[in-house]
Chains A and B, each alone.
Chain A
């Protein structure tokens, strides 16, 4: 087992015990999420279950912003399964502010969104036993962790693949310098000949990220094991 996954498992066990000690089994979905078996690190990418997630937020700093919408899609057997694609808008406490320009969401639309707890329930079911994939995990995980801590008292503990880091390593391997913009989702996709999508919707960005990941994996010369992506 890889050290990465071992540490994650230990961490998850710790938080599971902590949660159960404080709340017993108040939220069975969370307990399920915290106990469901993960794929083995030595497993091939083409057999591993993954969930690609993207968030749209009202601010770049988790402390100042909120999650406005979330979209995800899973990868099974190396293929993106559209049946699993899901997208939710979330009721906001604050206004959308400046970011509405980017996401084309208006306050009145968002006020009709679902309560955050309902979305989290769906997320817990979709994400259990899966490796989470983000493009630039640091930002999205910042928001998710903060949200989880507020709601459940524990952070999101899951193995994480970050396509931005994968692309960065690959780019640095081939080129000496990272220039502005080359690691943006759509610049990365262009390098694999992937088509342009209408940008900035949490679901289409999640699909775009999922396609980027399968393209990235296909362009490695040998069969890719899960642990090579962490």
Chain B
């Protein structure tokens, strides 16, 4: 193997290039030629590439690290990892002002702009690859466009045109009655064809009722004369600004002195669809399941936005749980409208991730009905219909039926308080490992709708039974230990060997669930009422069941794995794939792999502690 002195083979580089699209299609000698054109640079996390920088032009191939491509206003367009590449100049012509933000330290192989263009002109497949890649990115970008434009929409799209009007002679009482009939919070007072004044709920309260004014007086006594108004070509942004500056919640929309409509603060809020508060509010406004389904269909994209804007994982899961709570509550309200008032008090229970406020996308429904002991046999059908209505609705809204049938529709999970207590007694008296596994999520319990005190009584009973029951806790511990983190000897990742998820492992099953299970068993053994995993760990630290250090480690590990889960789900959304919990360690950067390994090691060590605490002396 005598190397010609002018062309040494750079195998370290060419081997890598042969794994990079589209360099894998070049011949060996072409690849070697490309390798010799490269320049290698190292940038630290946080560095930003923009098209203006001469030195950073050309095709940047990521040798290690990760990069996010963001639009000028910070929208995430793409996320790149090892062996992927970007050309900031090319992206900039399609998307002016685009930037590449390094989210990890990066080693970058740079193919200078002139060489890059030459490869593209010499090789059609080369050109096509980068051309196609660019348009794919654009499509993705387009899908996420509307949110930040919401503020720039004209008010005319959002205002209500059907304004309630009245004349100056109308009495306060009649005005209030008219507002009540139409269920609106404001009314405009017209003098002929022109706007004379406006009356809002607040005016009626502060200038009317609070002053003890005679309600038969004309409305002009309480109205605001010559109110602020806005033109119909103004944007949502203008309107929001005007409302905050002038501290009003209603703005008449006027063109050339003619009243066109009215816009209120709540109209503006609803325009901001990606705001979680308004998402939840929106759900409560829906009058049927179809409407709710529409609202939640935007959830994946909205969540993707939250992940991209750096909302922390436990906050995201809390918001997602709030959304599913809202849906359940609204469904129950609709059911009550349909079925009539409940015959006896009841509580709608959420179990598992919903109870712990740790739901992510794709969660199935785990729920139950807890009914007051005063229930009579003839009330049973009412609760059965309620359960069916709500569970069917949840399924339609994207929370599929629970495969283990942990749903209020099953008789076992729809019982009176004493029935539930008997069930708890049964599970704790003769705990078989199998039974324990099925019911373990029952011990994460939260009242989603209805009587809090019923839920509390059940929880009290449950904790009083489990607290000192070593046999039950040992059975639970066996269940905990059955899910081990996917680490093999030498801390290598263990992945699925075959099937759909080959070379991946399930982050939920192998990472999240072991932690949740461990924390739960500690909580049950120590009479802790919290159900959220982070809060449980805090409580466990407080009553000195685990050390501060171990607790923090466990919380960090939990956070990290949840974050990875969220990120991979968010990537799946961007790529238009089904959302699942699988993760291929090969897709992670070295640093992320290292962190994940550390997290799994913490889980593993904590499991050993469980073995010693609850299963000492057992196999």
**Chain A interface (Cβ < 8 Å from any Cβ of B):** 71, 77-83, 85-89, 109, 112-114, 118, 122, 192-195, 197-198, 201, 203-204, 207-208, 210-211, 214-215, 218-219
Contacts and interface: CB of A to CB of B under 8 A. Distances in A.
B380 interface: no
A79 B44 contact: no
Contacts of B44: 218-219
Contact of A114 (B5, B9, B42): B5
Kindly list the 4 A-B residue pairs having the minimum CB-CB distance in the complex, ordered from nearest.
Answer: A80-B40, A87-B8, A204-B12, A79-B39
A75 B97 CA distance: 30
Contacts, number: 92
**A contact face: mostly helix, strand, loop, or mixed:** mixed
B64 A194 contact: yes
A85 B8 contact: yes
A193 B5 contact: no
Nearest to B108: A79
A119 to B, nearest CB: 9
B63 interface: yes
B376 interface: no
Given A79-B110, A192-B105, A195-B590, A88 B3 contact: yes
Interface residues of B, number: 34
27 contacts: A77-B55, A79-B39, A79-B41, A80-B39, A82-B36, A82-B37, A83-B36, A85-B10, A85-B36, A86-B8, A88-B3, A114-B5, A193-B589, A193-B590, A195-B64, A198-B12, A201-B12, A203-B8, A203-B10, A203-B12, A207-B40, A211-B40, A211-B107, A214-B40, A214-B41, A218-B44, A218-B105
A21 B3 CA distance: 37
B38 A82 contact: yes
Contact of A82 (B3, B11, B40, B64): B40
A82 B13 contact: yes
Given A86-B8, A203-B8, A109 B1 contact: yes
Nearest to A210: B40
Interface of B: 1-3, 5, 8-13, 15-16, 35-44, 55, 63-65, 82, 104-105, 107, 110, 589-591
**B contact face: mostly helix, strand, loop, or mixed:** mixed
B5 A88 contact: yes
A197 B107 CA distance: 13
A45 to B, nearest CB: 12
Contacts of A204: 10-12
Contacts of B12: 197-198, 201, 203-204, 207-208
Interface-centre pick from A77, A85, A88 (highest chain B CB count, 10 A): A85
Contacts of B9: 87
B591 A82 contact: no
Given A109-B1, A218-B42, A201 B11 contact: yes
A83 B3 contact: no
A122 B2 CA distance: 16
B3 A89 contact: yes
A87 B16 CA distance: 19
B13 A87 contact: no
A78 B41 contact: yes
B274 to A, nearest CB: 33
Contact of B15 (A78, A112, A198, A219): A198
Interface-centre pick from A78, A122, A203 (highest chain B CB count, 10 A): A203
A206 B57 CA distance: 25
A211 B105 CA distance: 13
Nearest to A122: B5
A151 B37 CA distance: 34
A85 to B, nearest CB: 6
Given A87-B8, A204-B12, A195 B42 contact: no
Contacts of B10: 82, 85, 203-204, 207
Contacts of B55: 77
B42 A214 contact: yes
Nearest to A77: B55
Given A78-B41, A82-B36, A218-B43, A195 B8 contact: no
A83 B1 CA distance: 21
B448 to A, nearest CB: 44
Contacts of B40: 79-80, 82, 207, 210-211, 214
